[in-house]
Structure formats: C-alpha cells, structure tokens
Amino acid sequence: MSEGLAEQKIGFLGCGAMARALCGGLVAGGVPKAHLRGSDPNPSQRENFADSLGIETTGDNEVLVASSDIVVLCTKPGLVAEAIGALPETLRTEPRLWISIAAGIRLSALEQSLGTPSRIIRVMPNTPALVGQGASVFCPNASANESDRAAAESLLAWVGTTWEAPNEEMLDAVTGLSGSGPAYVFLFLEALAEAGQKQGLPREAADALAFQTVLGAARLAIESELSPAELRAQVSSPGGTTVAGLAELDRAGFRDAVDRAVTAATHRSRELGE
Ligand SMILES: NC(=O)c1ccc[n+]([C@@H]2O[C@H](COP(=O)([O-])OP(=O)(O)OC[C@H]3O[C@@H](n4cnc5c(N)ncnc54)[C@H](OP(=O)(O)O)[C@@H]3O)[C@@H](O)[C@H]2O)c1
C-alpha cells in the first residue's frame, strides 16, 4: 500500500494521458480501486480511463470533488481555472488536498481560483511517467502539511522518481530540464538512428540500437558511482573511435546547444507563468 495514501479517496479531475499514468501507478501500488475515481466531460476519455484501469468515472466534476480527500487536477493548463471556477464555493473551500500537474500554473494562481487558504501541491511530471519511469518534482504551498507532502511523494513515486523543490521558482528550471527533456532525448534518438542508417544499418536495427544505447547509458549513469564525465573518459581511448565521434560533437557545439535548449525552455516556462 502506498504510504500516506492508504485511507484517502483520490479523484482525478481530467482523465487524459497523465491522469491514466498517475492513477495506474496507484493501482499498481495497491491503493484499492474503490478509493480512486476520475471525472471528465469527454465520454471517450472516461471510457478509456475506466477500461484501462478498472476505475469508476463520472462526467460531473462536482460528484468527483465531493467524494475526494485528494483532487488531482489533470486538465490542460488553460482549463484549470475554469474547471475550479465551475465548482460551487463549498466544494472549493472544504478542507482537502489539491494536487495540480498543470504546467506553468503557479501556486498563487491556484490559491486565487480556490479562494481560501487551501492545501495545494504543484507538480511537474514528465511523459516517461506513462511507463513508470517519470522524473517528477513537487512543491507544496504554505498551507500544505507533512502528510500532504507524504501523499504527493508516494503518489509520484509509483510512476518514477520524485524530488521536492525547495522553492517554486525552481519549477521553471525543472520544466526546462526534465519537463521538456524527453523531447530533447527523442530528437537525439532520431538523429542517432538516422546517422546509423546513413552508415548502412537497416532502420529497425538502427532504431533498436539507438534506443537501447540511451536506456543503457542512463541506467549505467544511475547505478555507477562514477560521474557521467568519468564514464565518458572510461570509453574514450586516445586515437579510438569514440574520441573521433566526441570531437565532432564538440566541434558542432553539442554542449552549448543543450545549454541553450534548457535556458530557452526555462525562460518560456517563466513567461507562461506570468
Ligand atoms: N503530457 C505531458 O508530458 C505532461 C508533462 C507535464 C505536465 N503535464 C500536464 O498534465 C496535464 C494533463 O496533460 P495530458 O497530456 O494528460 O492532457 P490530456 O490528455 O489532454 O488530458 C486532459 C483531459 O482533461 C479533460 N478535460 C477538459 N476539460 C475538463 C474539465 N472541465 N473537467 C475535467 N476534465 C476536463 C480533457 O477532455 P477533452 O479531451 O475533451 O479536452 C482530457 O481528457 C496538463 O495540464 C499538462 O500541463 C503533462
């Protein structure tokens, strides 16, 4: 059973891809299905959620919120204020924990929508959560308590790793790194596999080799006591093939390009939150 979530009724407001991933993690973690529920105005999203997870759904957000100790806000960011605003005031102000995964929606904006000193935790997940390999960061508001933190932490731990940011400002950098990061890695995978094909490999083999190389290198970096720089040095014999390849990445400004990508995405996240 997930620590901090044992007796809680958890409602997912919005039954899209991220809600399915998070709710699926809780089911895998042993949270009783009767404690979980989803709401969505879209019947096909409800059906998908119910069929894939075996969880009850409703088309009525009021029903969901009224029956939940924790509400996980999983709509697109632009719809969060509207969805909260459509709830009757009593439901907005009753004591419960609100967890928002909406990118760029600040705690102050959520506090304003809910209207009272509510217990809120803002989360920045990423898409690998869909396969239980997410990297999520969370940040509680001043009203959230220790058991709220523990609940958010165990919810996120079921779909990957999680870290509590010491302040909300860091969530922009988190968005620039791990939120947008899967797309940078997908671009690298495309480039790596295409380059392999250009050197004569069949497409399927090039894809499989590229995917497994990135997965394996990341696993090695996680499990090894050596830093990525030391691991790189280990496979770079003078005059060898890897050194020849790395020299080209250096000449092309690879490190600087990654730095500029994270900087641009961090700035964009800051702009969107203003
Ligand atoms: N996917 C990611 O990589 C990622 C990463 C970090 C954070 N996030 C955040 O996660 C949130 C959800 O993303 P997602 O990819 O799961 O989006 P999604 O698949 O579009 O899911 C959102 C769901 O909310 C439904 N919805 C719309 N209005 C609603 C309302 N008033 N009440 C209840 N449900 C409503 C949508 O229905 P319709 O289909 O009819 O619109 C849809 O089923 C977003 O805020 C996003 O910023 C996502």
Residues 6+ away with beta carbon under 8 Å from 107: 120, 122, 139, 141, 168
| pTM given for the model | 0.91
Query: pLDDT digits over 76-97, tens only?
Result: 999 999 999 999 999 999 999 9
As a whole number, the mean pLDDT across the chain is: 95
Query: Is the distance from the beta carbon of residue 179 to the nearest atom of ligand 1 less than 6 Å?
Result: yes
Query: Is the distance from the beta carbon of residue 125 to the nearest atom of ligand 1 less than 6 Å?
Result: yes
Show the beta-strand stretches assigned E in the chain.
Answer: 10-13, 36-39, 56-58, 70-73, 97-100, 119-124, 134-140, 160-164
Residues 6+ away with beta carbon under 8 Å from 92: 84, 113, 114, 115, 116, 118
212 class by beta-carbon count within 10 Å (0-12 exposed, 13-18 middle, 19+ buried): exposed
d(CA 9, CA 237): 56
First to last CA, the chain: 39
For 10-166, the fitting CATH number among 3.30.350.10, 3.30.420.10, 3.60.20.10, 3.40.50.720 is 3.40.50.720
| pLDDT value of position 3 | 58
Q: Which ligand 1 atom minimizes the distance to the CA of 21? A: 16
Instruction: Quote the tokens at residue 3.
Output: 């620590």
Angle, helices 17-28 vs 43-53, to 10°: value is 20
- Where do you find CATH 3.40.50.720 in the chain? 10-166
Neighbouring C-beta atoms of residue 9, cutoff 10 Å: 18
Query: Is the distance from the beta carbon of residue 41 to the nearest atom of ligand 1 less than 6 Å?
Result: yes
For a ligand 1 pocket test, name from 15, 40, 136 the mutation site with the most ligand atoms within 8 angstroms of its C-beta: 40
**Does the structure show a pLDDT above 60 at 2?**
no
Query: Is the distance from the beta carbon of residue 14 to the nearest atom of ligand 1 less than 6 Å?
Result: yes
Q: Which sign, positive or negative, has the C-alpha torsion 112, 124, 183, 207?
A: negative
Query: pLDDT digits over 22-40, tens only?
Result: 999 888 888 899 999 999 9
For a ligand 1 pocket test, name from 22, 23, 45 the mutation site with the most ligand atoms within 8 angstroms of its C-beta: 45
Query: pLDDT digits over 115-149, tens only?
Result: 878 999 999 999 999 888 999 999 999 999 999 99
Q: Which sign, positive or negative, has the C-alpha torsion 268, 270, 271, 273?
A: positive
Query: Is the distance from the beta carbon of residue 39 to the nearest atom of ligand 1 less than 6 Å?
Result: yes
| pLDDT value of position 4 | 66
* Residue pointed to by tokens 């904006």: 109
34 class by beta-carbon count within 10 Å (0-12 exposed, 13-18 middle, 19+ buried): exposed
- Where do you find CATH 1.10.3730.10 in the chain? 181-273
Fold designation for 181-273: ProC C-terminal domain-like fold (1.10.3730)
Query: Is the distance from the beta carbon of residue 175 to the nearest atom of ligand 1 less than 6 Å?
Result: no
